[in-house]
Each structure stands twice: as C-alpha cells, then as structure tokens.
Amino acid sequence: MAHRKNIETSRNDTEFKLSKEFERVKRLLEITGLTGVVWQPTRSGNLSGEVKNDVVYIYEADEEKALQTLRHELMDYQISSKIIRPLIDIINSLIKLREAEIYKEKEKIIEHLSKLLS
C-alpha cells in the first residue's frame, strides 16, 4: 500500500509541475488558445507529446523529459499559430483566387469553342 501511495504522490507531483510549467511558459510566450496540459505517460510509440483540441498531451514517463516535451510543444504551438498557419491561410487564399481565374478562362474557351462547333 505504501508503494502505491508513493507512486500516486510522484504522479501528483509531476502533474503539478507540468501544470505550473504550462502556465509559466504560456505566460512568457504570450500563448492564447491552449486550455491545459494532460500527462498520460506511456511506454509505447514514438510520440512524446502533441496538441489536440487546445490541450497539450504529454506522453513521456520521465518527469524531466515530460517537462522538456511540454516546453517543446508550447514553442511549436506558438510558432505554428503565429507564423505557419497565417502563411498557409495566405497561400490557400491565393490558390483559391487563381482557381477562380482559371475556371473563368476555361469557361470562356468552352463558350468560344461551342460557338465554333454550332
């Protein structure tokens, strides 16, 4: 029973540290949009952490690796949300604009060819 209590205490300590670090880094990096951190230590798979539905999930069992993964995920989220996503949005808008122009040109050609074939 004492061993299980030590494991639970250790788990609670790690969860507390991750929560505190989440708030600290979120404040320092001025991150908005993330609501929390969930620690789900697993031994399987290559994934150390990820952001899903505005929550950071950490899969590392080792506390120090879990904290490093949390910092990594928060920095990745901030860079992606502030730099990469806006660029992708611009590129997608340009593609849509060009698609509309190409479609209009194609319709003109078809209309012209239809008149020639009549």
> Is the pLDDT assigned to residue 74 strictly greater than 60?
yes
Angle of CA points 84, 53, 77, to nearest 5°: 30
Q: CA neighbours within 13 Å on the CB side: how many for 7? A: 6
For residue 62, what are the β-bridge partners? none
Tell me: the pLDDT tens digits for 77-112? 999 999 999 999 999 999 988 998 899 999 999 999
Distances (CA, A) of 111 to 69, 78, 118: 58, 49, 11
pLDDT at position 9, please?
A: 63
Spatial distance between the Cα atoms of 96 and 6, rounded to a whole number of angstroms: 58
Residue 68: burial class (beta carbons within 10 Å; 0-12, 13-18, 19+):
middle
| pTM recorded for the entire structure | 0.71
> Contact 77/36 with Cβ under 8 angstroms?
no
Structure token digits, residue 70: 């949390």
Residue 22: burial class (beta carbons within 10 Å; 0-12, 13-18, 19+):
buried
> Is the pLDDT assigned to residue 40 strictly greater than 70?
yes
